[in-house]
Amino acid sequence: MTAQELEKDFLDKVADEIKIEPRDWMPEAYRKTLVRQISQHAHSEVVGMLPEGNWITRAPSLKRKAILLAKIQDEAGHGLYLYAAAETLGVSRESTIDDLLSGKAKYSSIFNYPTLTWADIGAIGWLVDGAAIMNQVMLCRTSYGPYARAMVRICKEESFHQRQGFDILHVLSKGSDAQKAMCQDSINRWWWPSLMMFGPRDSDSTHSDQSMAWKIKRMSNDELRQKFVDMIAEQVKVLGMTLPDPDLRWNEEREHYDFGEINWEEFWNVVKGNGPCNRERLEARRKAHEEGRWVREAAIAHAAKKNRRKQAA
Ligand code: BYC
């Protein structure tokens, strides 16, 4: 087949909703976009374990501790499915992880904020996992097969995560005055960073147009953000709490909630590495990688020994 025929075959598959698989021909730019997005997504899952891990030893009960541990382990699993999906595009796991540790690769801005109180664990589950699901449900239909299939499994686990977060806040919202205040304070601090998870405005998004054309993304950053605001503006009423936005109001004509302007300067500042916890997060990942070095070396030595024995036999 000529280059034009290959490209046409690829575009026809995308148009007909046939998944692109690892051995199929694909444009180099499509492959690169996927490697970028999937690896950033994997890094987000792994770095995302850190703010929550901060509360494992201080969870208020054995039950809450067991639930939090299970949730954090799920995030590690999500990272692994996604690193494996990225590997199907011809990049090694080592190089992808090196890019994270050297600060070259991005991960979601949200994980550069600190978890100051137990209520933050509730706010992360409800708002952060809520925003993640909103984005990831669409990614279950993404055009690249291994990414779409990883997303189906991840979304099932994420819905449990969101419910556990809402449950934490629900209990606090019915508690003492101090617990209610802690609940409101966590919502105040996590609301705007959660909206930033959806990425820049469509007009400032570098990759959206091409990613939508290739059906990697099925909805734009602004569309998903609006859906999220509409959902949370209703759910917050069940908690008897408020969202920290004086401009939030239902718009009859649009049939959507209007909301205030995001602080984009803060967003880009965090993305560029200058958020409250960027340095601390990367430091923690580098330390974990160093401390795990002997495990990787032992696994490689063990595999080589088994291989030698097999060949000798
Ligand atoms: N933070 O052209 P755009 C989770 C970057 S974790 C940092 O719109 P795109 C969880 C963007 O990368 C869930 N950077 O990009 C885990 C690009 O820079 P580069 C994480 C951001 O890719 C533990 C530039 O800005 N979810 O669930 O079309 C505990 C221009 O943006 C951000 C995913 O990763 C950001 N927020 O759209 C709890 C989902 N936003 O690469 C929960 C998969 C944008 O050119 N990713 N940038 O240097 C996506 O869906 C898309 O990549 C995005 C951005 C919607 C995030």
Cα(81)–Cα(297) distance, integer angstroms = 22
Split at pLDDT 50, 70, 90, the class of 1 is confident
Residue 137 has a pLDDT of 95
- For residue 6, the SS3 value is helix
Phi, psi angle pair for 249, to nearest 5°: -160, 150
Per-residue pLDDT tens over the stretch 150-161:
999 999 999 999
Mean pLDDT for the stretch of residues 18-22: 98
User: CA nearest 117: which of 195, 164, 178?
Assistant: 178
Q: Whose CA is nearest to atom 29 of ligand 1?
A: 48
CA 222–ligand 1 middle distance (angstroms): 13
Atom 37 in ligand 1: residue holding the nearest Cα: 199
In whole numbers, what is the pLDDT of the chain averaged over residues? 97
Identify the burial level of 196 via C-beta atoms within 10 angstroms of its C-beta, where 0-12 means exposed, 13-18 middle and 19 or more buried.
buried
47-101 confidence digits (pLDDT tens): 999 999 999 999 999 999 999 999 999 999 999 999 999 999 999 999 999 999 9
Ligand 1 interacting residues, C-beta cut-off 6 A: 36-37, 40-41, 44-45, 48, 75, 106, 108-109, 124, 128-129, 132, 135, 196-200, 205-208, 211, 221, 271
Among 59, 194, 73, 172, CA closest to 124: 194
